[in-house]
Amino acid sequence: MSAVETEIRRLARDVLAPLAHAGEPGRVNRPLIRALGEHRLLEPVLPLDGKTSARELCRIREAIAVESAEAETAFACQGLGTHPILLHGPAELASRWVTAAAAGEAVAAFALTEPEAGSDVASLALAAEPEGTGWRLTGVKKWISNAPEADFYTVFARTTAGAGARGLTAFVVEADAEGVSGRSLSLVAPHAIGTLELDGVLVPQENVLGDVDGGFKVAMATLNVFRPSVGAGAVGMAQAALDAAVAYTGEREAFGRRLQEFQGVSHQLADAAARLEAARALVAKAAAAYDEGADDVPKLSAMAKLVATETAQQVVDTAIQVHGAAALEAGHLLERLYRDVRALRIYEGASEIQREIIARRLYSA
């Protein structure tokens, strides 16, 4: 582990984790987000020159996740919601929101999913109708991290009916615009998540990201860099679970022996460690491919997210199994990780979608 990663883990353990613990479950934790900015953790993800390093993003997410899944989620959502503006926004828009988000002074959200359109992005229905020099947006987004409390949203809306993925456009919607509302949702893990409801919200032309009808490219450009980092976050959570399991089985005794002396226990952890290291290597390969501009970024990003998130679920489950009932008590590290890790196999493209991306690339080679 590098000196930088060691320092990030220290910050996550000593500063971020206590703030995450003190936050209200299911609500945006602004002190935590401000701390991410104050300690300059968001700057490498949101550089004003637009050159985000996927490797740096992965290193930060893994290091934070080992110490606090809640802090890692806050970090990820801040980057995901702002990154499209960094890559595709007009200079004035980027100067305003990217700077504020990187400093932890403004809360970002990435609003893609709808009640009837999750993995099938081409079926998005939230409508954007031209009006004067801008657009009027009407519809509902659901399961949006940081909604309805974010300060700004990257919203993907339909600008051309019947055009599938080719008829979507990305907009920046500011939270104080007339007609913006929403409500919080309660999920298995108590993260800030909810609906975003737009009732004829007028958005100026300068808040369009990229080209009109080019929103799918904006979304994919963002997901290609963030999908490996989802894997990195998963690896960090799994590492925390594995560390806890190794420590517990090295101390706990049963039938007159420590648990680590039972092959049925120690070999489970050996398998978990091997799978985890393989997942970490694949995440690193996908991140390097992105940074180097390789042709197979979509495939490797999908592979990294798929393997790392599925592996993390297995590792956390194994850690719980060797702990026994103690790990199922509310508030136990592994109980929290079990709930936190489950969403990673769904958001930013479910595992089934990652397999579809990989399969298509195999047959198009």
Residues serving a catalytic function are 348
How many whole angstroms separate alpha carbon 88 and alpha carbon 149? 24
Peptide bond before residue 148 is cis, with ω within 30 degrees of 0: yes
Q: Which residues have a Cβ under 8 Å from the Cβ of 62 and sit 6 or more positions away? A: 5, 232, 233, 235, 236, 239, 280, 283
The phi and psi torsions of 184 (rounded to 5 degrees) equal: -80, 150
How many whole angstroms separate alpha carbon 232 and alpha carbon 120? 25
Amino acid in the structure at residue 148: P
Over the range 285-301, which residues count as b (16 or more CB within 10 Å of their CB) and which as e?
A: bbbbbbbeeeeebbbbb
How many whole angstroms separate alpha carbon 312 and alpha carbon 299? 20
How many whole angstroms separate alpha carbon 335 and alpha carbon 81? 28
Residue 8: closest CA among 227, 249, 233, 308: 233
- CA dihedral 333→339→341→347, nearest 10 degrees, is -150
CB-based contact 294:68 (threshold 8 Å): no
Helices (H), 107-152: none
Integer-rounded Cα Rg, in Å, for the chain is 21
- Partnered with residue 269 across adjacent β-strands are none
CB-based contact 284:211 (threshold 8 Å): no
* CA angle (223 as vertex; 49, 215 as ends), nearest 5: 85
In the three-class reduction of DSSP (H, G, I as helix; E, B as strand; rest coil), residue 79 is classed as helix
How many whole angstroms separate alpha carbon 137 and alpha carbon 197? 10
Neighbour-count burial of 25, counting CB atoms closer than 10 A to its CB (0-12 exposed, 13-18 middle, 19+ buried): exposed
Tokens of 311: 């592996």
